């Protein structure tokens, strides 16, 4: 009787895990190229690049928009409806998490992270 309860519990747990994984496309968000994000609109992904120095950061009441450049030189316009991270203009890398909107031709980021490795390096004396 106890073995039957354990078996039912294990089968139920496996089914629950399988349901969670299959229903959540946003559970895992890998780094992808700009091209991949554009070709798969609506898919939740992470893109990484540098802020394009030749294009300005545009602030609106809804958020801010900016342009990113990847290692291959591709450009991607992005919009974030939150607060701009500190040192955004001086960051070395930007990681944006969100979905590409084919209708608006822009990457709609729900999170924007900045990477500033030089901030954490030891000073040379």
9-41: per-residue pLDDT in tens?
898 889 888 777 666 555 556 789 999 999 999
Position 65 confidence tier, pLDDT thresholds 50, 70, 90: very high
Kindly tell me if the per-residue pLDDT of 55 is higher than 90.
no
Q: Which residues contact 75 (CB under 8 A, 6 or more apart)?
A: 34, 52, 67, 68, 69
Q: Is residue 33 part of a domain?
A: yes
| Strand 58-60, strand 63-69: pairing | antiparallel
Q: How many domains does the chain have?
A: 1
Q: Which domain holds residue 34?
A: 27-117
In a domain, 17, yes or no: no
Is the model's pTM score more than 0.85?
Answer: no
For residues 57 and 100, give the distance between their C-alpha atoms in angstroms, rounded to a whole number.
19
Domain annotation covers residue 16: no
- Beta-strand pair 45-51/63-69: antiparallel
Whether 4 is covered by a domain: the verdict is: no
The verdict on residue 32 lying in a domain is yes
CATH number at residue 103: 2.40.50.140
80 occurs within a structural domain: yes
Tell me the average pLDDT across 53-61.
88
Does residue 62 fall inside a structural domain? Answer: yes
């Amino acid at each position: 009787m106890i073995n039957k309860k354990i078996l039912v519990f294990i089968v139920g747990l496996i089914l629950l895990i399988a349901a969670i994984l299959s229903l959540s496309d946003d559970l895992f968000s890998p780094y992808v190229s700009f091209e991949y994000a554009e070709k798969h609109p609506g898919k939740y992904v992470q893109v990484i690049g540098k802020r394009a120095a030749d294009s300005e950061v545009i602030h609106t009441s809804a958020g801010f928009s900016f342009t990113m450049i990847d290692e291959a030189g591709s450009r991607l316009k992005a919009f974030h409806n939150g607060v701009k991270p500190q040192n955004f203009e001086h960051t070395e890398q930007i990681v944006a998490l969100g979905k590409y909107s084919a209708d608006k031709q822009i990457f709609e980021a729900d999170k924007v992270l900045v990477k500033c490795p030089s901030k954490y390096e030891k000073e040379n004396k």
